[in-house]
Chains A and B, each alone.
Chain A
Amino acid sequence: MDCAVKIDNLSKLYGKKEALSNIDLKVEKGEMFGIIGPDGAGKSTLYKIMATLLLPDSGKASIFGLDTVRDYRKLREKIGYMPERFSLYQDLTVAENLNFFASLFGVKIKDSYDLIAPVFSQLEKFPNRKAGALSGGMKQKLALSCALIHRPAILLLDEPTTGVDAISRNEFWEMLSKLRERDITILVSTSYMDEANRCERIAMINKGRILEVGTPQNLVSRIGENLFNAVGENMFRLLSELRVMPEIEDCYTFGSTLHIVAKKGFNPARAKLELEEKGLKGISIYPAKGDIEDLFIKLTRNEEM
């Protein structure tokens, strides 16, 4: 009963394709937990099972001790679910949307107003605007307000920041930390690796399997010391040359630079000389600080091998 979410050996098939396989996961009460993975990793399926919309093929999931299959009725009052793509009635106004969701749960807006105020305050200026005419960031806030209206104990946010500009994304994460202070457990999924650091703990998921679970700092520290940045004038040639070097395990583009995962005994200065002999110019290789994305690439490469 200590955990907010407990998932045991959960699997889900779509036809023959395995969307989720043997998922085990525990989320503590009051935690801000991130589920990080690329598109098609199975995040939304996992959310739908937790939100009592899908039945698992095997294994079980429970939230606050309530089974998602058996106790779905009781559970539905406790969860605030925000599906992918902000599901709102586009032809209803801001106020109508909020009122409608309040009435679904039999609550009044003013009773929950203190909770949604930080999120909703920006929307209050135009209650009569149609939801379809709102910007991505505003839609996201309205959807979150609607998900919060019945004071849920846990928020299930499925890719809430997809399709939203960087400033709104930042604001959104700040709002989530405020909600987190009010003892709401938050499960948030994202395909943006950089957002992982905003969570207390994260689970990395790919192809329906959980790769790693832990705090972002802990996970990043596992990458080790042998990560380097490389830049040069001809990045494409640099990449292909680096990939064939024997002392390099992996090399991939990372933003505007290349990341090198080196084997032990890799000497950046010697590698630079070697490359310059081959006619490459403007080369510099220096140690890099890895992040979640590096870990993700490492873990998925391991899986492929």
Chain B
Amino acid sequence: MAILGSLIKKEVLHIVRDPRTMVITILMPVVLLLLFGFAISTEVNDVRIAAVVDRHTDETRNLLEKIRVNHYFTFLGLTSENEVEYLLRSGKADAILILRTDETRLKGEIVADASNPTNAQSVATYIMGVINNGVSSSPVLTYTLYNPQMKSSYNFVPGIMGMIFILICAIMTSVSIVREKENGTMNLLLVSPIKPATIILGKLIPYFLLSCIILLIMMLISYTLLGLPVSVTIIDVVLVSLLYIVLSLSFGLLVSTIADSQLTALIGSAVILMLPVIMLSGMIFPIDNMPVFLQFISCVIPARWYIEAMRKLMIQQLDFSFIYQEIIILFSMTILLMSLSICKFYSSQKK
């Protein structure tokens, strides 16, 4: 135990003595959370909208007034039907609302600029929302549960957490182990009487603790600044995150047993882990929209299951019983990666 203690102490010194890494590891989560939370958002603001009205009635006046006062819209004014294409094509308007009154029944039509499909979709949804509110006869009502204001700041929290832990745990662990291989100090550790398992623990524990600190920081930001609703699910969030941290650490260990230089370890973990995590985990692009082949691949990406579980816990506020599937998958992945990397570590010791 004393040996493990001094291994951990040594590793902590390595981390603390390297201020650059320290700053990056602490700042990166904070910056990413704030960036995605505030600066970058998929919400559409200032939709420039013009209207074509064939007959003015109380109903149409009412509707236009609503659009005028809604802060999501900038109302450009009334226009004629043959101007519609010009306005959209020249980019002067994002959407045109065409209102026709036919035998006292109001019919709405939305023409939106779909050069950015995501935007067009949101714009159309907004306008629909306004119209449906006004036209009481409309049979369809839309409710958005869990995230009623459709704030995207929440939505990114699970994704960022999924990415950060893979980044920090996997990359930092693998680089630190490979650095010892490169410097030859790993050989000194191996010729000493300590057990290889102790060496592995001496590497994993410090980075586990570091990850816990980062988890704390990220949760603090999410629940205070970003305003995630606080509830008992926080405990589950912590537990699932700890499982995911262990999984990421095992991944780092596995990379370190394969890579021979710090550079390979870095590029290996960055390319193998980062891209799939960002592209295929559902963090940005919805998995259901992917081709079946990619959906299949996304199943083996741990971040996908973690992010899914986090969405359920943090945003939907569901309890543990709803994330059994994710937990079981993450847990088996951890066991698999851990045993694989330990086997590799033992066998690479002697060639």
Contact = CB atoms under 8 A, between A and B. Distances in A.
A105 B3 CA distance: 8
B183 A104 contact: no
Interface in B2-16: 2-3, 5-6, 10, 13-14
B18 interface: yes
Interface size class of B (residues with CB under 8 A): 20 to 34
B187 A81 contact: yes
A91 B188 contact: no
Among B188, B350, B351: residue with most chain A CB under 10 A: B188
Contacts of B187: 48, 51, 53, 81, 83, 87
B158 to A, nearest CB: 35
B13 A104 contact: no
**Chain A binding surface, main DSSP class:** loop
A87 B184 CA distance: 5
Interface string A65-90: 00000000100110101011101111
B188 A81 contact: yes
A53 B3 contact: no
Interface string B188-211: 111111100000000000000000
B191 A51 contact: yes
A37 to B, nearest CB: 20
Nearest to B4: A103
A100 B350 contact: no
Contact of A104 (B184, B192, B351): B192
A105 B350 contact: no
Given A73-B193, A81-B188, A104-B6, A91 B351 contact: no
A63 B5 CA distance: 31
B185 interface: yes
B129 to A, nearest CB: 58
Interface in A20-38: none
Contacts of B10: 89, 92, 96, 100
Contact of B6 (A52, A55, A100, A146): A100
Contact of B183 (A55, A87, A101, A106): A87
A76 to B, nearest CB: 5
Contact of B351 (A54, A83, A99): A54
B17 interface: yes
Contacts of A103: 2-3, 5-6
A85 B6 CA distance: 24
B172 to A, nearest CB: 15
Interface string A44-62: 0000100111110000000
Contacts of B183: 85, 87-90
B13 A76 contact: no
Given A51-B191, A52-B191, A96-B13, A91 B18 contact: yes
A168 B349 CA distance: 34
B189 A104 contact: yes
Contact of A84 (B184, B191, B192): B184
Contact of A53 (B6, B14, B190): B190
Interface string B318-351: 0000000000000000000000000000000111
Nearest to B351: A54
B184 A76 contact: no
Nearest to A104: B192
B191 A106 contact: no
A32 B47 CA distance: 85
A79 B192 CA distance: 9
Nearest to B350: A55
Interface string B43-76: 0000000000000000000000000000000000
Given A92-B10, A105-B192, A87 B185 contact: yes
Nearest to B183: A87
Given A85-B184, A89-B14, A76 B192 contact: yes
Given A99-B6, A104-B3, A104-B193, 20 more contacts: A51-B191, A52-B191, A76-B192, A81-B191, A83-B184, A87-B185, A87-B187, A87-B188, A88-B185, A89-B183, A89-B185, A91-B17, A92-B13, A92-B14, A92-B17, A101-B188, A104-B6, A104-B189, A104-B192, A106-B3
Closest 9 CB pairs of A and B: A87-B184, A103-B6, A104-B192, A91-B17, A83-B184, A87-B185, A55-B350, A81-B191, A76-B193
